[in-house]
A and B are shown apart, each in its own frame.
Chain A
Amino acid sequence: MQQQDIDIVIVGGGGAGLRAAIAATESARKENLQQRIVLLSKVYPMRSHTVSAEGGAAAVTSAEDSLQAHFDDTVAGGDWLAEQGVVDYFIRHAHQELVQMERWGCPWSRKPDGSVQVRRFGGMKTARTWFAADKTGFHMLHTLFQTSLKYPEIERLDEYFVLDIAVVDGAVVGVIALEIATGELTLLRAKSVILATGGAGRLFRFNTNAGIVTGDGMAMAFRHGVALRDMEFVQYHPTGLPGSGVLITEACRGEGGILVNKDGYRYLQDYGLGPETPLGKPQNKYMELGPRDKLSQAFWQEKQIGRTGKFGDSDVVYLDLRHLGKEYLHERLPFICELAGVFINVDPVNELIPIRPAVHYTMGGIETDANCETRIKGLYAAGECASVGLHGANRLGSNSLSELLVFGRLAGEQASQHAATVAFADSSALEEQAQAHKTRITQLYDAEGEENWVELKRELVLSMETGCGIYREAEGMQATLQAIHDLQARYRNIRLQDKSRAYNTELMQCLELGYGLDIAEATCLGALERKESRGAHKRLEEGLQQRDDINYLKHSQVFFNADGPAELRWQDVDTHLSAPAERAYGDAGKGIKQ
């Protein structure tokens, strides 16, 4: 088994991982430290799911905007479950990070005078979303990846699948990774480890996420005793394409697109988001520019009363962009036009786009403090995999791309500083843990069980969708939790068809499923125990349909238990800057301090 000593190991090559790698390098340079920095990713960095983000990245930019407004929008958008100190740090640093991206060459869309253009986004009081047409994530990821090439200090191990972190006495000591090309294990002894492994949207059948978004990093931290926090908050994006779930950006609505039901009626006015705003005159926080949780919930309600249409087997409503005109659509939303054309043969210039909600984002994740550090010393997490506490119960669109810059950087700097203060741990414990993984992999190869990962995965994603969907009730969630436990048991009896070592993609998918089952358990348990409705978590039962600040103004923390079901605890929320208030949009939100 190969072993190397690396000061800072970063797991994940998406936006947060790359930003962290650059920050760690800069930090080491500034302090004159000779640090080895390695970035591992199970795919080439530019394949990471950041690439699929479309709409934009938020930061207070225009003169009429204020930091307070961005803070208030984010806290209210998260239904007061965000860590307010963290939100405060975020809104103060977002602009600087977007400027940094620009200085690295990111082609942000511009105004005629050459300054950066901003667009409207849901739940935001004013236009503050920077964008690069409708391929913002793509341009950000490639800019970061290309910029990372400028730093010879950043060593990359592309297509290395990290199996686990190694922990001794409450401190991280390294990672154990599998080289996908050969199937061999590699051992990296480390002083600091940053997890930037993304979300877990693939736990659900119908989602906007890439195939790699399987939550591996979350499960690794979870299994070592770090809490997964607020996992019950799963964001349904209101506009995914039927069939595939391909994302149709919120920017469509920011630019003035409207949502109608099968009767051509702008149904959002019936769900506390009205009154109807005139066509072509979108108004922040009204109608289509409400937050994602409310819009997805409105779809569900429309479906209940039979006002949704059909596209193939899917129930859909419609996104109308026609009034924006061909030239404007091709300038601002070229990728949307391409996607609608390729995947459902619809031309948004002349036709309505059928859409439906799809699982999009994991608000919860690996619990960290405000400095991105977990309860394991030297282990950091940033980006979607982390729960630093920014999004609370519902994320506002365009906060996540800014998040991965702000907190990717912070994690990188913290990791570098930490690495400067500690020595490498004794490698025997690391080797022992690596040996255990080697044995486990060998057993997986040799196992002659009857179960097949495909079947288990299908049952999992279906069950998650049924039990932990847009609206939830105890009975359904209990059934899902039971199903997860059954699947976990069956997973131990799994069998690989592919016995080869090189590029064994079946092995990868098998391992991902194993991680997924544990995260699914945390998600479902959190949802079951949160007996209130808040943000993206909506209960159907009588008495649970409202927010309950007396009992549930708390983060859920789920802890792994190797020998039995996971355990849940509650943690206080930092609300020292803004006391919980009514969360309202449309005219109802007028006069409320938001």
Chain B
Amino acid sequence: MTTKQLSIQRYLPEQGSAPYWQDFDIPFDDSTSILDALNYVKEELDGSLSYRWSCRMAICGSCGVMVNNTPKLGCKSFLREYEGPVKIAPLAHFPVEKDLIIDMEPFLDHLAAVQPYLINDSGLINGSGESEETFKQTPEQMEKYKQFAGCINCGLCYSACPQFGLNPEFLGPAALTLAHRYNLDSRDQGKKQRMPQMNREEGVWSCTFVGFCSEVCPKNVDPAAAVNQGKVESAKDMLIGIFKG
């Protein structure tokens, strides 16, 4: 079996403060993912390497890392795709806690800030029978937001966004996409509540449409489109606000 060199950025806060690079030789074949390679390191070479992973089928969103400076899901990228040595680092633009583990709290705070849930007064059913009906929503109505509902919260788009890198207060692609997803949902009545967050400077207007977020998104959610559609909505909302006084 051929091997490939993996350089992993290590950071061990309990043993000194500076990150450093460590090289490993990994045997691989066509099916070896970056995650497989990390598991190989942990199980065979260095048990102290820390990273997150779980489903290994690109749906849980745990295993995001920088592979040669590009954010990737470890389970969905393969060693065969890379010529020469492969550099693995923690996701960019987040505080690094240990090795490849980043602090997800900023991400979750931003997510929660946009009220990412269906807002509709008749949301809770009582189970007594009378309101045991679903909302009606045609496939066309669903089509409007379906793509934006595919976000797995992996955080790759934040690592791809220089605006988030420059200003961690920027709500960022995933959170704004989720807000837009609910705003577009025919069952939702919460747009009015969400717009103030989106209208802020740290809302949609921090985005300069670099577009890399959509490029790296492993689920083709196209957050850049959502955020910039959000700008149109925000502009409309602010204009209406002006006319209403």
Which of A102, A147, A158, A502 contacts B135 (CB under 8 A)? A102
Q: Select from chain A the residue with minimum beta-carbon distance to B43.
A: A454
Say yes or no: A339 contacts B57, CB within 8 Å: yes
| Neighbouring A residues of B139 by C-beta, 8 Å | 109-112
Given contacts A51-B59, A103-B135, A497-B48, contact A44 B12 (CB under 8 A): no
What is the interface residue range for chain A against chain B? 35 or more
Say yes or no: B146 contacts A47, CB within 8 Å: no
| Neighbouring B residues of A135 by C-beta, 8 Å | 59, 150
Say yes or no: B42 contacts A110, CB within 8 Å: no
Q: Does B132 contact A (CB under 8 A)?
A: yes
Q: Does A196 contact B (CB under 8 A)?
A: no
Q: Which of B112-120, B159-167, B202-210, B235-243 contacts A (4 or more CB under 8 A)?
A: B112-120
Say yes or no: B116 contacts A96, CB within 8 Å: no
Q: Does A589 contact B (CB under 8 A)?
A: no
Say yes or no: B132 contacts A96, CB within 8 Å: yes
In the bound complex, how far is the Cα of B115 from the Cα of A593, in angstroms? 49
Q: Which of A67-75, A241-249, A567-575 contacts B (4 or more CB under 8 A)?
A: A241-249
Say yes or no: B54 contacts A211, CB within 8 Å: yes
Say yes or no: B185 contacts A105, CB within 8 Å: yes
Q: Does B245 contact A (CB under 8 A)?
A: no
Chain B positions 75 through 102: 1 when the CB is less than 8 Å from some CB of chain A, otherwise 0: 0100000000000000000000111010
Say yes or no: B182 contacts A105, CB within 8 Å: yes
In the bound complex, how far is the Cα of B44 from the Cα of A454, in angstroms? 8
Given contacts A47-B60, A498-B48, contact A112 B54 (CB under 8 A): no
Distance in Å: Cβ of A503 to nearest Cβ of chain B: 4
Which of A51, A116, A342 contacts B76 (CB under 8 A)? A342
| Neighbouring A residues of B97 by C-beta, 8 Å | 181, 502-503
Given contacts A43-B62, A104-B117, A210-B56, contact A500 B12 (CB under 8 A): yes
Given contacts A46-B153, A99-B133, contact A112 B12 (CB under 8 A): no
Distance in Å: Cβ of B241 to nearest Cβ of chain A: 26
Say yes or no: A103 contacts B120, CB within 8 Å: yes
Q: Select from chain B the residue with minimum beta-carbon distance to A148.
A: B117
| Neighbouring A residues of B2 by C-beta, 8 Å | none
| Neighbouring B residues of A497 by C-beta, 8 Å | 46-48
Given contacts A96-B132, A114-B141, contact A47 B56 (CB under 8 A): no
Given contacts A44-B104, A102-B135, A114-B138, contact A506 B59 (CB under 8 A): no
Q: Does A186 contact B (CB under 8 A)?
A: no
Say yes or no: B47 contacts A246, CB within 8 Å: no
Say yes or no: A103 contacts B47, CB within 8 Å: no
| Neighbouring A residues of B31 by C-beta, 8 Å | 243-244, 312, 343-344
Given contacts A99-B132, A243-B31, A342-B76, contact A211 B53 (CB under 8 A): yes
Q: Select from chain B the residue with minimum beta-carbon distance to A133.
A: B146
Say yes or no: A503 contacts B98, CB within 8 Å: yes
Say yes or no: B134 contacts A102, CB within 8 Å: yes
Say yes or no: A52 contacts B117, CB within 8 Å: no
| Neighbouring B residues of A142 by C-beta, 8 Å | 149, 151, 153
Distance in Å: Cβ of B178 to nearest Cβ of chain A: 8
Given contacts A107-B149, A149-B112, contact A210 B98 (CB under 8 A): no
Which of B108, B122, B178 contacts A103 (CB under 8 A)? B122
Q: Does A139 contact B (CB under 8 A)?
A: yes
Chain A positions 499 through 519: 1 when the CB is less than 8 Å from some CB of chain B, otherwise 0: 011111110000000000000
Q: Select from chain A the residue with minimum beta-carbon distance to B30.
A: A345
Q: Select from chain B the residue with minimum beta-carbon distance to A339.
A: B57
| Neighbouring B residues of A103 by C-beta, 8 Å | 118, 120, 122-125, 134-135
Distance in Å: Cβ of B94 to nearest Cβ of chain A: 14
Say yes or no: B58 contacts A110, CB within 8 Å: no
Say yes or no: A138 contacts B48, CB within 8 Å: no
Say yes or no: B14 contacts A49, CB within 8 Å: no
Chain A positions 232 through 250: 1 when the CB is less than 8 Å from some CB of chain B, otherwise 0: 0000000000011011000
Distance in Å: Cβ of A56 to nearest Cβ of chain B: 15
In the bound complex, how far is the Cα of B42 from the Cα of A211, in angstroms? 14
| Neighbouring B residues of A473 by C-beta, 8 Å | none
In the bound complex, how far is the Cα of B98 from the Cα of A43, in angstroms? 16
Q: Does A304 contact B (CB under 8 A)?
A: no
Given contacts A44-B108, A339-B57, A506-B42, contact A149 B117 (CB under 8 A): yes
Q: Does B229 contact A (CB under 8 A)?
A: no
Distance in Å: Cβ of A412 to nearest Cβ of chain B: 14
In the bound complex, how far is the Cα of B72 from the Cα of A540, in angstroms? 46
Q: Does B244 contact A (CB under 8 A)?
A: no
Q: Does B5 contact A (CB under 8 A)?
A: no
Distance in Å: Cβ of A316 to nearest Cβ of chain B: 14
Q: Select from chain B the residue with minimum beta-carbon distance to A213.
A: B54
In the bound complex, how far is the Cα of B15 from the Cα of A149, in angstroms? 37
Say yes or no: B138 contacts A110, CB within 8 Å: yes
In the bound complex, how far is the Cα of B141 from the Cα of A496, in angstroms? 54
Given contacts A95-B132, A149-B112, contact A338 B55 (CB under 8 A): no
Q: Select from chain B the residue with minimum beta-carbon distance to A147.
A: B117
Q: Does A553 contact B (CB under 8 A)?
A: no
Say yes or no: A46 contacts B55, CB within 8 Å: no
Given contacts A52-B60, A506-B48, contact A115 B134 (CB under 8 A): yes
Q: Does B25 contact A (CB under 8 A)?
A: no
In the bound complex, how far is the Cα of B12 from the Cα of A49, in angstroms? 29
Say yes or no: B188 contacts A496, CB within 8 Å: no
In the bound complex, how far is the Cα of B147 from the Cα of A107, in angstroms? 11
| Neighbouring B residues of A181 by C-beta, 8 Å | 97
Distance in Å: Cβ of B65 to nearest Cβ of chain A: 14
Say yes or no: B53 contacts A105, CB within 8 Å: no
Which of A105, A138, A149, A496 contacts B187 (CB under 8 A)? A105
Q: Does B232 contact A (CB under 8 A)?
A: no
Say yes or no: A100 contacts B125, CB within 8 Å: yes
Say yes or no: A338 contacts B58, CB within 8 Å: yes
Say yes or no: B57 contacts A246, CB within 8 Å: yes
In the bound complex, how far is the Cα of B152 from the Cα of A111, in angstroms? 26
Say yes or no: B54 contacts A49, CB within 8 Å: yes
Say yes or no: B117 contacts A47, CB within 8 Å: no
Q: Select from chain A the residue with minimum beta-carbon distance to B187.
A: A105
| Neighbouring B residues of A502 by C-beta, 8 Å | 13-14, 97-98
Say yes or no: B134 contacts A96, CB within 8 Å: no
Q: Does A146 contact B (CB under 8 A)?
A: yes
| Neighbouring A residues of B149 by C-beta, 8 Å | 107, 139, 142
Which of A149, A247, A342 contacts B58 (CB under 8 A)? A342
Say yes or no: A113 contacts B138, CB within 8 Å: yes
Q: Does A590 contact B (CB under 8 A)?
A: no
In the bound complex, how far is the Cα of B244 from the Cα of A133, in angstroms? 42
Q: Does A212 contact B (CB under 8 A)?
A: yes
Say yes or no: B137 contacts A52, CB within 8 Å: no
Q: Select from chain A the residue with minimum beta-carbon distance to B46.
A: A497
Q: Does A150 contact B (CB under 8 A)?
A: yes
Q: Select from chain B the residue with minimum beta-carbon distance to A106.
A: B118
Q: Does A5 contact B (CB under 8 A)?
A: no
Q: Does A26 contact B (CB under 8 A)?
A: yes
Given contacts A103-B118, A110-B137, A500-B14, 12 further A-B contacts (CB under 8 A): A46-B60, A52-B57, A107-B145, A107-B146, A107-B149, A113-B138, A115-B134, A149-B112, A210-B54, A244-B56, A452-B47, A503-B50
**5 nearest A-B residue pairs (beta carbon):** A105-B118, A497-B47, A114-B136, A498-B48, A102-B134
Cβ contacts A to B, 8 pairs, < 8 Å: A43-B52, A46-B60, A49-B54, A51-B152, A104-B118, A146-B116, A210-B54, A342-B76
